[in-house]
C-alpha cells in the first residue's frame, strides 16, 4: 500500500511540474509583445494624403529626400539610414501649436540624447520664410542638439510632396499656390526601413509619453 502511494506521489509531482511548464509556455506565448503597426496611405485620414496614393495598402515608405538643415548642411535619407526617427512639420513663426510641439520634441531629444539609433527631423512648411539663418536662430533658442535633430528647409514642392506622399502629415491650404500646406500636430515614428510605425499628437503630453515607449518597443524589434 505504501509503495502504491509512493508511486502516486511521484506521479503527482511529475504531473505538477509538467503542468507548470505548460502554463509557463502558454503565458509566454500570450505575452509576446506585438509589433507596432505599419501604416499605409489607405489607413490614414484622406485629408492628409495625396489623392494619387490614397488607395495604397502596402509597401509604403518614406521617399528619398534632399533638404538643408539649420547649419546649411544637405540632409538626405542617408543621414537617417539604419535609424529610427521622429518626424514632424512646423514653421518658426507659428505662435499656436508649434511652441508646444517643439517643447515636446525637445523632451524626446532629452530621452534619446545618448541613443545612436534614434534621431529627430522637423520640416518647415514655410521654406520661403524659414531659410538657414532663420532655422539656426530658432534652433539655438529652442536648445536643438545638432547631432540629434535636424530642422530642414528646401524646395517647397519637394517638402509638400514629402508631407503628403510620404509622411501623410499635412493638409492643403486650398486658396494659395499649388503647394500651400497647413501643418498638423502629428509626430510620425519612422522605422529603419523608412516605414511609418505610429502617429502621435505632438501637443499631448500623454501621446508623447506613448511615443517614447513606442521608440523603446520598436528598438526591441531589432534585437
Which residues contribute to the annotated binding site for Cu cation? 94, 98, 183
From CA 181, how far away is CA 160, in angstroms rounded?
7
58: its cell numbers: 502596402
Looking at the chain, list the stretches that DSSP marks H as alpha helix, in order from N- to C-terminal side. Answer: 2-30, 98-111, 132-142, 156-161, 205-221
State the pairing for strand pair 118-124/84-90.
parallel
Phi, psi of 156 (to 5 degrees): -60, -40
H/E element holding 139?
A: helix 132-142
Residues 77 and 194 sit within 8 Å (Cβ to Cβ): yes
Cα 58 → chain centroid: 18
SS3 string, 8-41, reads HHHHHHHHHHHHHHHHHHHHHHHCCCCCCCCCCH
Binding site: residue ranges? 94, 98, 183
38: its cell numbers: 505599419
Amino acid at each position: 500500500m505504501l509503495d502504491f502511494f509512493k508511486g502516486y506521489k511521484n506521479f503527482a509531482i511529475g504531473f505538477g511540474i509538467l503542468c507548470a511548464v505548460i502554463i509557463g509556455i502558454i503565458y509566454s506565448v500570450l505575452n509576446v509583445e506585438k509589433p507596432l503597426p505599419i501604416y499605409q496611405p489607405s489607413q490614414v485620414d484622406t485629408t492628409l494624403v495625396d489623392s494619387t496614393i490614397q488607395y495604397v495598402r502596402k509597401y509604403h515608405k518614406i521617399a528619398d529626400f534632399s533638404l538643408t538643415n539649420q547649419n546649411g548642411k544637405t540632409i538626405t535619407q542617408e543621414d537617417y539610414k539604419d535609424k529610427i526617427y521622429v518626424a514632424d512639420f512646423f514653421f518658426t513663426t507659428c505662435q499656436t501649436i508649434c511652441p508646444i510641439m517643439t517643447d515636446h520634441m525637445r523632451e524626446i531629444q532629452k530621452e534619446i540624447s545618448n541613443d545612436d539609433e534614434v534621431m529627430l527631423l522637423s520640416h518647415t512648411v514655410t521654406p520661403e520664410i524659414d531659410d538657414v539663418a532663420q532655422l539656426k536662430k530658432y534652433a539655438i533658442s529652442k536648445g536643438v542638439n545638432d547631432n540629434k535633430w535636424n530642422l530642414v528647409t528646401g524646395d517647397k514642392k519637394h517638402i509638400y510632396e514629402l508631407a503628403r506622399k510620404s509622411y501623410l502629415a499635412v493638409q492643403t491650404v486650398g486658396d494659395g499656390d499649388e503647394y500651400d500646406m497647413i501643418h498638423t500636430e502629428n509626430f510620425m515614428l519612422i522605422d529603419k526601413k523608412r516605414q511609418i510605425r505610429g502617429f502621435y499628437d505632438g501637443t499631448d503630453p500623454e501621446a508623447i509619453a506613448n511615443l517614447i515607449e513606442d521608440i523603446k518597443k520598436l528598438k526591441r524589434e531589432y534585437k
